[in-house]
């Protein structure tokens, strides 16, 4: 007897989003050099051409009396004023005007106040000490090298980092520098970029080789000893009230939480790889400066249901094409999502992807009974049926339909596009060479709509459509036959081919699963015994049931299209198969497939296995996939291969393919994909660009290790199915619920 999973209750969680600001939003320059939040949580940003303040989602310039000043530092004083470094001038700004100004012999680096209320000022060449209430400095001491950063504690505990001359502690009754150098101590590098002192008095030191922690005596820790310490080129760091630490680097942002490092990189999260500074607000927001603008991060508590609804609304607004096909929206300008520009693509699998989205709508409607969801589902159902009706071939669905007023009309490979007119004389064209992918999408959508949404009239419409498609397949020897009378390339369910022709060895199991599922759906919706008899014939005499005992052929996680088909189809086959003995045979194949795919942490695959078998599954991984999924659905250029912890699989090289990861990245790090795509790719769209960004680096590891694949350039908005489908599937089957 199956072990029924306990329902997994999911509470609200912090959902991170970001907004990018550049010169287009009021900054004087995209090169952001410093930033801070004042006591009112107003964001101030310094650039190489001036100071600006965020007001009403736009940056406005702050006049400090210097034309186009290069801002090197901003520090919020306890009284609400700001210390601003502009070259060698230190200014005090009260939110309205500059109240004081003082010149130094070299450029300002940092201003800090210690726990004894002593103010310390560091320039590139000199450190100054100003006691509380004093009118003048009581210490002026030269820095051994070019000063880069400053940290202060209590009892005159002061540390200064330099650009290449090591790390220095202020010491002695007669003030002097104790020099801590790489090679002589545990300091990782003599290039020190930032420094902080934690509540215990330990010193956190950022260098171009990573973070090290020093106990102020002789004990040092770094990434070679502690896995939770970054090992890349650190540019700045900040610590939140809850103890979380944030590190900006030359390759993005790193968040340290509970000893784990999480990466937020180019270009989903930051406008440039090279992050220069970070500031944290009291509200929980934080801002990261880069060489190409800045990202303002916002966190709000959200439930998975709220997230699913929000993502669906984005898709409904921007990704629904004429008739109701739900596909990617191609953008005219990088990252600009607008109804006034761009267009929704015509893919070569409109039916399949719309069918997946429709499946999600069906499960959502079954859970919520929301009339808006039902209307969207019916719209896309009719769009799918139009693909069947508009080819002029009984039961033969088109891959896609395009209309004369659509941007891509008349383009592409003309061999398989066919011009036609509807009953009103309107021109359109439809794409033939229909594959098994399309039929999978159609049957998945029809079955779920029939069971979860349809009224009697809609059930009859589905019944007629399913019968047309199935009869076309059966009458053509289990193939789809195109306008030229030839079978299409991939839509082959002929038992003699699958069982007897080795050229179909990789499709044997998955196509056996498909046709058995199609026949079960046909019998379920039509009650026509001929479909059940054909099912028995293929399952038994043609041993398709045996084919399903291991329908997945392990492929080193290189091919994923059939994985998607299989998990869609097995849900329906097991739903409509009543015989426990047959179900036990089919579950052998499903279990084998799930254990093969388990490493992917695919939420939908996990939920399918749990729902269909009743066995325990990786519910925590599935939920984490949903929680970590970004709200941003743009296909950004992604660069992750610099991460030192990644494990690489070089076996694909033997097949002429690029190396890939041993384990997929987290949702927020990897490229958005359908379930038929490779989740083991580290980078996308970065080839050539990483080399350009790092051409001045003397660090050979700064270049991308493996450039990845795809042409993601922030020019497409993805539909939300890869989140909404597994979420509502799990909700409907009682695997998760909102706490």
Question: What would the 3-class secondary structure string for 104-163 be?
Answer: CCCCEEEEEECCCCCEEEEECCEEEEECCCCCCCCEEEECCCCEEEEEECCCCCEEEEEE
**What is the predicted pLDDT for the residue at 173?**
83
- Residue 153's pLDDT band (boundaries 50, 70, 90)? very high
Residue 92 near residue 113, CB atoms below 8 Å: no
Please tell me the predicted confidence (pLDDT) of residue 1.
34
Q: What is the DSSP string of 148-189?
A: EEEEE-STT-EEEEEBSS-EEEEETTTTEEEEE-BTTBS-S-
pLDDT, position 609? 97
Looking at the predicted structure, is the pLDDT value of residue 697 above 60? no
Q: What pLDDT is stored for residue 686 in this prediction?
A: 80
User: 326: which DSSP letter?
Assistant: B
Question: Is the pLDDT reported for residue 572 higher than 50?
Answer: yes
Is 704 a residue whose pLDDT tops 70?
no
Coil, helix or strand for 107?
coil
Per-residue pLDDT reduced to its tens digit, 11-69: 999 999 999 999 999 999 999 999 999 999 999 999 999 999 999 999 999 999 999 99
Please, are residues 283 and 38 in contact by the beta-carbon 8 Å criterion?
Answer: no
What pLDDT is stored for residue 221 in this prediction?
Answer: 97
* CA separation, residue 282 to residues 33, 37, 41, 93 (Å): 21, 8, 7, 20
Taking CA atoms, 425 is separated from 383, 404, 422, 431, in Å, by 19, 12, 5, 19
pLDDT at 79: 86
* Phi-psi region at 166: left, alpha or beta (left = phi > 0; alpha = psi -120 to 50): left
Residues 551-559, mean pLDDT to the nearest whole number: 91
Question: Could you tell me the pTM of the whole model?
Answer: 0.94
Task: Give the per-residue pLDDT at 652.
Answer: 83
Please report how many Cα atoms fall inside a 13 Å half-sphere around the Cα of residue 651, on the Cβ side: 9
pLDDT tens-digit readout, 27-43 = 999 999 999 999 999 99
- Is the confidence at residue 462, as pLDDT, over 80? yes
Structural domains in the chain plus CATH codes: 31-103 (2.20.25)
Helix, strand, or coil here: 366? helix
Q: Which residues contact 550 (CB under 8 A, 6 or more apart)?
A: 509, 588, 589, 592
Task: Tell me the two tokens of residue 422.
Answer: 């509807």
Structural contact between residues 18 and 286, judged by C-beta atoms closer than 8 angstroms: no
Residue 236: in which H helix or E strand, if any?
A: strand 234-239
């Amino acid at each position: 007897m199956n072990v029924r999973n306990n329902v997994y209750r999911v509470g609200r969680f912090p959902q991170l989003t970001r907004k990018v600001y550049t010169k287009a939003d009021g900054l004087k320059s995209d090169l952001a050099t410093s930033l801070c939040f004042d006591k009112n949580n107003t964001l101030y940003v310094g650039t190489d051409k001036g100071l600006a303040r965020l007001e009403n989602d736009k940056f406005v310039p702050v006049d400090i009396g210097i034309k186009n000043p290069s801002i090197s530092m901003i520090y919020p004083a306890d009284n609400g004023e700001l210390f601003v470094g502009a070259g060698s001038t230190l200014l005090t700004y009260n939110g309205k005007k500059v109240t004081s100004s003082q010149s130094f012999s070299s450029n300002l680096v940092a201003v800090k106040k210690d726990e004894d209320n002593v103010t310390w000022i560091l320039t590139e060449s000199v450190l100054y000490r100003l006691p509380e209430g004093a009118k003048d400095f009581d210490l002026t001491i030269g820095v051994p090298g070019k000063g880069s950063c400053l940290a202060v504690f209590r009892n005159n505990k002061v540390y200064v980092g330099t650009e290449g001359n090591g790390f220095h502690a202020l010491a002695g009754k007669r003030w002097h520098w104790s020099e801590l150098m790489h090679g002589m101590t545990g300091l990782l590098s003599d290039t020190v970029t930032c420094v902080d002192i934690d509540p215990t008095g330990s010193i956190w030191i950022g260098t171009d080789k990573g973070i090290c922690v020093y106990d102020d005596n002789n004990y040092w820790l770094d990434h070679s000893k502690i896995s939770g310490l970054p090992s890349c080129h650190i540019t700045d760091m900040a610590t939140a009230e809850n103890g979380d630490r944030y590190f900006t680097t030359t390759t993005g942002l790193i968040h340290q939480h509970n000893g784990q490092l999480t990466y937020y990189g180019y270009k989903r999260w930051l406008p440039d790889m090279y992050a220069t500074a970070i500031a944290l607000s009291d509200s929980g927001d934080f801002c990261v400066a880069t060489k190409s603008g800045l990202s303002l991060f916002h966190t709000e508590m959200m439930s998975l249901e709220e997230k699913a609804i929000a993502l669906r609304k984005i898709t409904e607004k921007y990704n629904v094409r004429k008739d109701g096909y739900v596909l990617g929206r191609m953008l005219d300008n990088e990252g600009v999502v607008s109804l006034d520009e761009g267009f929704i693509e015509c893919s070569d699998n409109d039916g399949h992807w719309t069918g997946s989205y429709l499946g999600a709508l069906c499960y959502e409607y079954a859970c919520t009974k929301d009339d808006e969801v039902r209307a969207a589902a019916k719209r896309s159902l009719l769009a799918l049926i139009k693909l069947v009706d508009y080819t002029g071939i009984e039961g033969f669905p088109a891959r896609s339909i395009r209309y004369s007023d659509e941007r891509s009309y008349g383009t592409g490979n003309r061999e398989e596009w066919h011009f036609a007119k509807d009953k009103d004389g309107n021109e359109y064209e439809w794409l033939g060479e229909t594959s098994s992918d399309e039929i999978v999408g159609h049957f998945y959508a029809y079955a779920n709509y029939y069971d979860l949404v349809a009224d009697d009239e809609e059930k009859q419409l589905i019944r007629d459509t399913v019968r047309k498609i199935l009869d076309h397949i059966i009458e053509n020897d289990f193939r789809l036959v195109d306008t030229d009378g030839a079978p299409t390339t991939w839509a082959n369910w002929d038992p003699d081919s699958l069982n007897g022709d080795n050229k179909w060895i990789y499709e044997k199991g998955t196509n056996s699963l498909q046709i058995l599922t199609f026949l079960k759906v046909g019998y379920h919706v039509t009650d026509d015994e001929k479909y059940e008899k054909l099912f028995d014939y293929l399952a038994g005499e043609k041993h398709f049931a045996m084919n399903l005992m291991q329908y997945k052929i392990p492929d080193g996680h290189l091919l994923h299209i059939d994985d998607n088909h299989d998990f869609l189809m097995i849900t329906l086959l097991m739903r409509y198969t009543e015989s426990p003995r047959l179900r036990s045979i089919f579950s052998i194949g499903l279990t084998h497939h799930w254990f093969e795919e388990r490493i992917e942490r695919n939420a939908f695959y996990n939920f399918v296995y749990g729902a269909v078998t009743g066995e325990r599954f990786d519910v925590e991984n599935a939920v984490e996939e949903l929680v970590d999924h970004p709200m941003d659905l743009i296909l950004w250029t992604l660069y992750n291969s610099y991460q030192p912890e990644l494990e690489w699989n070089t076996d694909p090289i033997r097949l002429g393919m690029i190396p890939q990861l041993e384990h997929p990245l987290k949702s927020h790090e990897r490229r958005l994909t359908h379930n038929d795509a490779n989740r083991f790719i580290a980078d996308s769209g970065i080839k050539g660009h990483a080399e350009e960004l790092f051409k001045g680096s003397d660090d050979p590891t700064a270049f991308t290790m493996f450039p990845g694949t795809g042409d993601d350039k922030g020019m497409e908005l993805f539909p939300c199915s890869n989140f909404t489908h597994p979420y509502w599937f799990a909700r409907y089957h009682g695997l998760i619920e909102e706490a």
